Amino acid sequence: MSSVRSDPIHRIHPEPIDHVDRLPDSLLLLVFNKIGDVKALGRCCVVSRRFHSLVPQVENVVVRVDCVISDDDCSSSSSSSDKSRATGPFSNLFRLVFGGIVKPLQALGQFLGPKRPTLNETLNTPSSSSLSVGPGGDDDGEMDQGGVTHHSPTQVLRNFNEIRFLRIELPSGELGIDDGVLLKWRADFGSTLDNCVILGAASVINNVHLQVSEYGNDGFCINNNITSGSNVGNSDDNGSIPESFYTNGGLKLRVVWTISSLIAASARHYLLQPIIADHKTLDSLVLTDADGQGVLCMNRDQLEELRVKPLSASSASKRTLVPALNMRLWYAPYLELPDGVVLKGATLVAIRPSEQSASKKEVSDASWLSTAFEEPYGTAAKMLVKRRTYCLEMNSF
């Protein structure tokens, strides 16, 4: 008789096999890279020690925040509190799972209030352009609201060692605009602005049967024979800007759109300095917002340029200095897109630093500008560049 007795209970209920443990690390990293979201990755860290060791190797990270904080405001207090806090390598990431990012960056502070001011209100309010929120006496870049601890993106991202593709999404665009107004921008930066394209419209109407004789706040009048996007560029106006554009405040409004978009882009660029310095492996960095109002992009060469050549900061606020610019503007009083979307007072502005403009070929405009926006607005850009071009210049600010 055998000395080893078989266990009937063990035969009926064998030890469970953890199939996840049988997956190779490369496959798990592929899954984590598909997840991307930093809060979800934080939750993955608490599942097991293996997950905890793999998450820092993720290459594709998405950070969705409530609002942004300035690392400058908390750097002085963080150095004195780091040693006294018992923090694991992912403590900041864990806290982010349960809290947002609420302390505002000075240059972006205007969109933190209960009601964001419109651009017109910003121009007419003396204190709005210099609105700032000082540090709240928090430690380690943290602040408590209702018992919840909040952290900056820079602190959270320091837990990742091999980020290649980083996308940061703000809760909304910085520019408070009137309902129905379209304003979108995209900017590329190295150590300073490389280029920027802005698309705006006084109103957007999804109505193929809109009567051209009805107008919005722009107060512009055009020929009623313009009925579709296919003949906008060949209509009686010859692509020219009507005289009313200059007398009814149309040009002033477009200048406001342009300056405001450049300020928002340069403030975002300034915010990214510590993140870029911390992550030498980055190939692509995108800072956008949930409204789709503005997108700041940096590729690998531009990221390296910023590391080698530090940015020039504006003395007035926490943002990158905008260089002297050459701008080209296209305008259509009424632009009907192929899908029936109608843009009234449609405006496209292409911007490059003055020192670059001479070396850039004009023929590249159509491809460069049309790819700056998702549809249907990419089509709108293609249609607008076929119209008459107006050139403007702007000093550094």
Cis peptide before 376 (omega within 30 of 0): yes
Q: Is the pTM of this model over 0.75?
A: no
pLDDT in tens, 214-248: 444 444 444 333 333 434 434 445 667 888 788 78
Pick 25 or 212 by higher pLDDT.
Answer: 25
Contact 120, 175 (CB under 8 A): no
d(CA 368, CA 197) in angstroms, rounded, equals 9
Angle of the 38-45 helix axis to the 25-35 helix axis, nearest 10: 140
State the Cα torsion 231-234-237-238 to the nearest 10°: 150
pLDDT in tens, 108-147: 333 323 333 333 333 333 332 222 223 333 434 454 444 4
pLDDT in tens, 313-337: 877 778 999 999 999 999 999 999 9
